[in-house]
Amino acid sequence: MSDCLFCKIIDGDIPSAKIYEDEHVYAFMDIMPVSKGHALIIPKTHREFVYEMTEDEAAKLFAVVPKIANVLKEKFQPAGMNLLNNNGAKAGQSIGHFHLHFIPRYDETDGFQARWMTKEKHFTPERIAELAAEIHSELN
């Protein structure tokens, strides 16, 4: 896709600080990092959302994820790491090409916050079981 920022990075039209590449995926440092070691991995085939990826494309991308995560852990020794993907504008996606963030975490002031606001009062165990049954029936 010619107007996609990440496709331009893959094609070499826009420079990046590449950390990994094979015939299926490309990984590079985020130019607006949240923390030291903040990196991205993307499929080389343009897919805007995870919903569009084939199982094979996802398998090839996620096969590399532990390799990158372990190198970031070894080299920078973070206290933890968030893996983050946003699908769609309402979820915070700002670039229309699937990407997974590796965000090494060092302390509470490192620039990233994940805040959970649970809704257990709205989702009873019975309702959760109903939702699970709906999903399960589609997956089997």
Given a contact cutoff of 8 angstroms between Cβ atoms, the answer to whether 88 and 49 are in contact is yes
Residue 77 has pLDDT above 80, yes or no: yes
> DSSP code of 40?
E
Residue 59 has pLDDT above 90, yes or no: yes
Contacts of 12 (CB under 8 A, 6+ apart): none
Given a contact cutoff of 8 angstroms between Cβ atoms, the answer to whether 68 and 109 are in contact is no
Number of Cβ within a 10 Å radius of residue 97 = 21
Residue 62: pLDDT band with limits 50, 70, 90: very high
Beta strand pairing call for 39-43 and 100-105: antiparallel
Distance between CA atoms of residues 57 and 89, nearest Å: 23
Identity of the residue numbered 53: M
The first and second tokens of residue 26, run together, are 């490309």
Domain ranges for the chain, please list them: 5-111
The per-residue pLDDT for 96 is 93
Paired residues of 20 in beta bridges: 27
Task: Please identify every residue annotated as catalytic.
Answer: 99
Residue 109 has pLDDT above 90, yes or no: no
Coil, strand or helix at 34: coil
Architecture in CATH for domain 5-111: 2-Layer Sandwich (3.30)
**What dihedral do alpha carbons 90, 95, 98, 104 form, nearest 10°?**
-90
The first and second tokens of residue 7, run together, are 């496709």
Whole-number average pLDDT of the chain = 93
